[in-house]
A = this chain, B = another copy of it.
Amino acid sequence: MRLISPLDYLFLALEAREHPMHVGGLELFRPPDGDGHGFARQLHVSLVRAPEIATTFTRHPGAAGASPRMLTWAVDTEIDLDYHVRLGALPRPGRIRELLEMTSMWHSTLLDRHRPLWEMHIVEGLEDGRVAVYTKIHHALVDGVSALRLLQDSLSSDPDERQLPAPFAPRPPTGHANYSAPSMPLLRSALGLGGDVAGMLPATARLGWRVARKRGMPLPMTAPRTIFNVPIGGARRFAAQSWSIDRIRSVREALGCTINDVVLGMCGGALRRYLIEQDALPDAPLIALVPVSLHSLTGTRSGNAVTAVLASLGTDHADPLDRMAAITLSIGKAKEMMAGLTPTQAIAVAASFLSPFVASSVSGFSQHAWPTFNVVISNVPGPRAPLYLNGARLEGIYPASIVMDGLALNITLTSNADTLDFGLTGCRRSVPHLQRLLAHLDASLEELEHASGCVIAERG
């Protein structure tokens, strides 16, 4: 018997039908011989026959519900891999649209607490012969960044490698051990893929507020109310698409900003279009919570530590260059203010941004809380070179994240060799037509390409 850590306990205790607390990821693979069916079936067979399972993937709460017994982890000694690893198929014609609809459903349902808290869905039937894998794991077992890392670590840069371990297999400790430094669970949980409950620790948040005030940082209450900042339901929509990093790099070079600035520009333009379409664009610009690495702020080596800044998305500007200017100015200011902080202070400031959401999750009074920010936009580093699963190229790795009361939309992206792979997770009720944001992101990038006059070599 093993005690559940207080933070993980909170992830379990806060979970409700309308607040699933699992993170997910959708991966797309192109089988070497184009035989999606054979590849999917073989993958399924090899995974359900996996000889060993890492402890993390054997755990579930000792008892269901928020009882004192939930403070312990139970270990499932007879894991039914047929239950955890499922083989499914898309209805014809098997487009990405059908895949996203199916993923949305999987991402909406709660994990069964009587079983280890994870599921994998292998999906055949994509019209182009690719195979999709949607993985879902409870945040109490592993945070989103680590989940992404686990998936990546089960792949190979060698297309001929065939003896890959299951993502849930035990493995030797890697160089990522510093992920488990004391302050890490807090901020990774909050900023990695979720932006959810870091503010849980009130003392941290209180410290953060003081630091923020002393440094004259823009306090919360400046974000407008939007349709995203409402109580949520339990159903989700998930949308995903890749964009060529070269396209984004060209804009970055033309404008002299960072990749992340261009990403925020894409998002700002897309959200503006979306909100106009919904007749719901506020006058004031939307504010995004943007995780940034401490390393990039301080220039010092500080492991994988991340904090977060608040940035304007310039949604009040119709002109894309005005919008980019507002974004770079805003994020520059925010980073500057963070720059002189110690890592602990920087983390505390990020926690303070989140604390109102945590308070509302606990009290249920989110409808009366003013939003600190409107949306989380998180860029998680992914594989730099192409990866393969039994010879099948990983063509997309799209994070599916957690949304919560007051934060009905989450945009998380990850770099994958030569693409940026966006995963959009929204409350199905509060964020209608989520998939339109994909078209808007694309239109927004094109707009930036035109406005910045950059060479557009890869456009097709």
Contacts and interface: CB of A to CB of B under 8 A. Distances in A.
Contact of A124 (B87, B91, B112, B233): B91
Given A16-B65, A17-B64, A428-B80, A235 B89 contact: no
B40 A91 contact: yes
Contacts of A109: 109-110
Interface string A93-112: 00000100110010011101
A83 B37 contact: no
Contacts of A125: 89, 91, 125
A92 interface: yes
Nearest to A109: B109
Interface centre among A64, A91, A102 (most CB of B within 10 A): A91
Interface string A32-47: 0000010011000000
Interface string A108-129: 1110111100000000110000
A86 interface: yes
B428 A41 contact: no
Nearest to A87: B91
Contacts of A429: 114
Interface of A: 16-18, 37, 40-41, 64-65, 80, 82-83, 86-92, 98, 101-102, 105, 108-110, 112-115, 124-125, 233-235, 428-429
24 contacts: A16-B64, A17-B114, A18-B64, A18-B114, A37-B92, A40-B91, A41-B92, A64-B234, A80-B428, A82-B101, A83-B235, A86-B105, A87-B91, A88-B88, A88-B102, A89-B125, A92-B124, A108-B112, A109-B110, A110-B110, A114-B234, A114-B235, A114-B429, A115-B235
